[in-house]
A and B are shown apart, each in its own frame.
Chain A
Amino acid sequence: MAESSTTTKIRRKEDASLLSGRGRYADDLPVPVGTLYAHVVRSPHAHADIVRIDARRALAHDGVWAVLTGEDVRKLSDPFLAAVKTPVQQWSLAVERVRYVGEPAALVVAESRYVAEDAAELVEIEYAPLPAVIDPVAACAKSAPLLHPQAGTNEVSVREFRYGDTAAAFARADRRIAMTTTFPRLSFTPIECYVVVARHNAAGGSYDVTANFQGPFSMHPVMARALRVKGPKLRLRIPPDSGGSFGIKLSVFPYIVLMALAARVTGRPVKWVEDRIEHLVAASSGPNRVTQIEAALTNDGCVLALRLDQLEDYGAFLRAPMPGPLYRMQGAVTGAYDIAHVDVINRVVLTNKMPASLIRGFGGPQLYLALERLMQRIAVELDLDPLEVIRRNLIAGEKFPYRAAAGALYDSGDYARAVEIATGDGRLDELKRRRAAARAQGRRYGIGFAAIVEPAMSNMGYLSTLMSKEAREKAGPKSGAVSMATVNIDPLGAVTVTADVTVQGQSHETVLAQIVAKALGLRPDDVEVVLEMDTAKDQWSIAAGTYSSRFASGTAVAAHMAAVQMREKLKAIAAKQLNVLPADVELSGGKIRSRSNPDNALPFGRVAATSHWSPGLLPESMAPALSETAAWTPQELEPPSRDDRINTSLTYGFVFDMCGVEIDPVSYQVRVDRYVSMHDAGRILNVTIAGGQIRGSFAQGVAAALYEEFAYNEEGAFLTGTFADYLVPTVSEIPEVEILHYESPSPLTPLGAKGLAEGNCMSTPACIANAIADALGVADVTLPATPRRIHALLERAGATGKR
């Protein structure tokens, strides 16, 4: 296994503050004197017309400043822009109708949060309940209740894609194997909920909002348009610390608009802090998906072609940038396998549940549950070894860079080698030994595998794949993604870095300091990194934010480029002062010196400060070396082709997982006995932080496989509204994982690094599901595989072991 040269263990710059209670999270920041507090009144119904709202009693309550309803919001704002053009409209409060339990129906603004909550009980809302539809398949039926009657259907987007000649491949196949998988609804519930503080300046017609928003900043124009202002009139600030996000804190955006409107109505700053009950019922969910998948096969298990019909359930509204999860994996829909022909149908359906949006893994978990369950099923039906089926279909090492059937350009990898390492050193033998021993004693033990491709740094053009090529041509091509970072020098020659990412614990501060320090011959401790964002003053593009693993392939590269730009300028400045040629100058150990005569040296700070104190000494025609910004825009992120092929991401890593699970014969609990996770994420930027990201992602993958699910009953009542019902795993539920690395540096970025923090969210649910299928000898495994579901599976098989 290749060991990286940059994998030194270093301490995180973030930690001393966070460990001492000196973090600056959104709810910790001071607010202006006179700030009011808001509380959201939410729908108790899954689907109902709003007949009447009477806020008089609430308004009469001491300390209440205002009650906003959908009618106010309709007067003061415009509906949110969406990625899919439909007649569906969404505002920051329900207008005329509520469509899910927990939907904001009114907003009470009062002198304190406690008073606002008191008064919320006095807001009288009369509802006329309507029939609700919860199941995505049922929602597609002609007879289903319509969420948005003006749309005429709940299935608001359907597109069919043909890559290669799938029909011919199916016609010549020896076998066909099909199955249906369902991926559940869940969130990764950051421990800090949403926070918004909004101000309105009536004189300037501008809004100034602080919120723990995560990006992408393509939502900034959506919010500005809703508020009916030009972009610069909506100043959005993101605090320096955020208590986790995992995709979920994109969906604070409707509340940013709502609190901005409340500030406008009251003339006072308005603060809102979401509570956990609100968060669980209405903040955001990953989309649930029903996938029908079918393979055309040779008798020896080679997959000739695939057909996928993906029905994704986005809940009550399709908010921008949805249906991202359905398209983010589009180019890589054939996963880690060399499959030349694939047909895909993508369907978007709306149901009476909370809107779905960004979540770590973002489309990968849904795709790979189908693809990897299918691979296991192929092995069972053809009586082959499941690992052998994977091996036979993996893309061969010599084919990289590899253009996948649907358009992804896999930049580097040696999948077979990574699998060989992971299964070697007796690891797979040990799993097999444990399974044999358990089965010999009549226990239920199974082994699962999953092989997946992990994309990073999304092509912002991928969503336009959902439009027909005619519509795309009319709208103009969308493609690419920009990453930005800036390196600044202060008057004493000290270095600071800013960048277009938001912080939620990913250690960006540490890694950016490491990258910039290396380029400038400094220590990471010499570099300050400031990552709070201010849309009025920082450099950003619509791609800014922290999502889709864009840091390692994107922002880290921009920081490296900015540091190199600064380095080259400093070399030229120093050359003049050292009386040598720029080519003879190097930056090392805090000095800028002559390569050929290292004694001829100046302290870094002295050279670096030249542009502040003595710009007259700069080499002729050089702009001062005060601030260097780099914008990284990789050329590989092209728009969709005329035949809908799309390179959805810049880099593609590889993950191979294998595990052994045992089913408890009494409790029917699934216990993960052993878990091995092999990652090829290109060059590892920092091995400690990489390990932390992988462990966190793994825990969330286990959660999706075994514990977490947003549950609704058939009428749409929400059943998992507390942490006693919605099961976030504790330390007792998370098994150990053995992490292995294999490094195939990306040739497409100067750092060679790929994303790695989403992989196990994609691979682990599929791997555990495969192990359960092996343990029980069943085809249908529904996640999360709770004891109740396992028991039901065994009942059906007549094998509950009643003794």
Chain B
Amino acid sequence: MRAVKGDQKTRIALTLNGRKLAAEAEPRLLLSDFLRHGLGATGTHVGCEHGVCGACTVLIDGVAVRSCLTLAVQAEGREVRTVESLAAPDGALNPLQAAFRDHHALQCGFCTPGILMSFTDFLARNPQPSEAQIREVLSGHLCRCTGYANIVEAIKEVASSSHAPRSEG
């Protein structure tokens, strides 16, 4: 691990959605702020900055983490995936995204990227979860618009179909 000074900007390099990127940042900068304002990946949203709402969830080396509870320097050299990686380059939605659309599982869409990333990780590890497992993972996210029912239905559909979401972007 590299030593950094608290009051100095340092260059942080990581792989974001398959592309190597770098920007200067103070060691105290949150990963959520770094992704959004340093690297321009604004699809990841910030909802509470204390780790409860889950809107800022991203994958680091394939594992879902709260980017508001992670410092940018902690992602140095790692592989970060965000919601921008899910659709195909031509814009076609992946099965998880399509299921959210088909089940009206989002309204304002602000919490949605975090939920998609949590389940991208979870379904990759558990392609056919029970409804109880789905609900347990979803309980790590706050949504104020939908009342959650349609989100559960969307994820159930993906889980029961043969398509697992693409694990690589």
Contacts and interface: CB of A to CB of B under 8 A. Distances in A.
Interface in A682-708: 688-689, 691-693, 695-700
A241 B45 CA distance: 13
Interface string A259-283: 0000000000000000111000000
A731 B36 contact: no
B91 A16 contact: yes
For the complex, would chain B's binding face be called helix, strand, loop or mixed by DSSP majority?
Answer: loop
Contacts of B136: 732
A208 interface: no
A734 interface: yes
Given A18-B106, A19-B87, A21-B83, A695 B28 contact: no
Interface residues of B, number: 55
Nearest to A193: B47
Given A18-B106, A692-B104, A731-B135, A191 B49 contact: no
A15 B138 contact: no
A188 interface: yes
Interface string A713-754: 000000000111000101110101100000000000000000
A28 interface: yes
A664 to B, nearest CB: 18
A695 B42 contact: no
A243 interface: yes
A276 B47 contact: yes
B48 A507 contact: no
B66 interface: no
Given A21-B82, A276-B50, A696-B107, A728 B150 contact: no
Nearest to B7: A62
A20 B97 contact: yes
B73 interface: no
Contacts of B49: 275-277
B75 interface: no
Most buried by B among A18, A693, A695, A699: A18
Contact of B147 (A12, A246, A734): A734
B151 interface: yes
Contact of A695 (B46, B48, B150): B150
B109 interface: yes
B101 A21 contact: no
Interface stretch (B110-118, B119-127, B160-168): B110-118
A19 B97 contact: yes
A213 to B, nearest CB: 15
B42 A19 contact: no
Contact of A19 (B48, B93, B135): B93
Nearest to B114: A191
Contacts, number: 175
Nearest to A506: B107
Interface in B45-104: 45-50, 52-53, 55, 82-84, 86-87, 91, 93, 97, 100-102, 104
B148 A734 contact: yes
Nearest to B46: A27
B102 A27 contact: no
Contacts of B28: 114
Contacts of A722: 48, 50, 52
A760 to B, nearest CB: 9
Contact of B45 (A11, A14, A192, A507): A192
A190 B145 CA distance: 8
Interface in B128-169: 135-136, 138-152
Given A505-B145, A695-B146, A191 B111 contact: yes
A442 to B, nearest CB: 28
Contacts of B141: 730-731
Contacts of A28: 36, 42
Contacts of B107: 244, 505-507, 692-693, 696
A730 B139 contact: yes
Contact of B106 (A15, A21, A697, A723): A15
- Interface band, chain A: 35 or more
A11 B48 CA distance: 30
Interface in A167-220: 188-193
For the complex, would chain A's binding face be called helix, strand, loop or mixed by DSSP majority?
Answer: loop
Contacts of A402: none
A202 B78 CA distance: 47
A772 B149 CA distance: 24
B109 A699 contact: no
A50 to B, nearest CB: 28
Given A192-B45, A724-B52, A731-B135, A688 B104 contact: yes
A25 interface: yes
Contacts of A27: 36, 42, 46
Nearest to A739: B149
Contacts of A11: 101-102
B110 A244 contact: yes
B120 to A, nearest CB: 12
B137 to A, nearest CB: 9
B141 to A, nearest CB: 7
A724 B53 CA distance: 10
A191 B45 contact: yes
Contact of B152 (A242, A506, A696, A731): A731
B126 to A, nearest CB: 17
A504 interface: yes
Contact of B43 (A21, A190, A689, A728): A21
A732 B142 CA distance: 11
B150 A692 contact: yes
B108 interface: yes
B144 A188 contact: yes
A12 B84 CA distance: 19
A576 B159 CA distance: 57
A730 B142 contact: yes
A20 B106 contact: no
Contact of A191 (B47, B93, B149): B47
A688 B154 CA distance: 14
Given A20-B87, A20-B97, A276-B47, A695 B149 contact: yes
Contacts of B22: none
B83 A20 contact: yes
A32 B52 CA distance: 32
A723 B52 contact: yes
Most buried by A among B53, B140, B145: B145
B147 A695 contact: yes
Contacts of B48: 191, 276, 722-723
Nearest to B83: A21
Nearest to B110: A243
Given A19-B116, A191-B47, A692 B93 contact: no
A728 B139 contact: no
Contact of A699 (B26, B139, B148): B148
Contacts of A698: 147
Contacts of B82: 21
Nearest to B51: A723
B118 to A, nearest CB: 12
Nearest to B116: A19
Nearest to B142: A728
Contacts of A188: 144
A723 B48 CA distance: 8
Nearest to A693: B107
Nearest to A688: B104
A143 B149 CA distance: 50
Interface of A: 11-12, 14-16, 18-23, 25, 27-28, 114, 188-193, 241-244, 246, 275-277, 504-507, 688-689, 691-693, 695-700, 722-724, 728, 730-732, 734, 736-737
20 contacts: A11-B101, A19-B100, A21-B41, A21-B86, A22-B43, A23-B109, A27-B42, A188-B144, A191-B45, A191-B53, A192-B45, A505-B108, A691-B104, A692-B146, A695-B149, A696-B145, A697-B147, A699-B144, A699-B148, A732-B139
Given A19-B109, A114-B28, A722-B50, 9 more contacts: A11-B102, A15-B109, A114-B29, A190-B108, A191-B48, A192-B108, A241-B108, A505-B108, A731-B135
What 6 pairs between A and B have smallest CB-CB spacing?
A: A21-B43, A505-B108, A243-B110, A18-B109, A505-B107, A699-B147
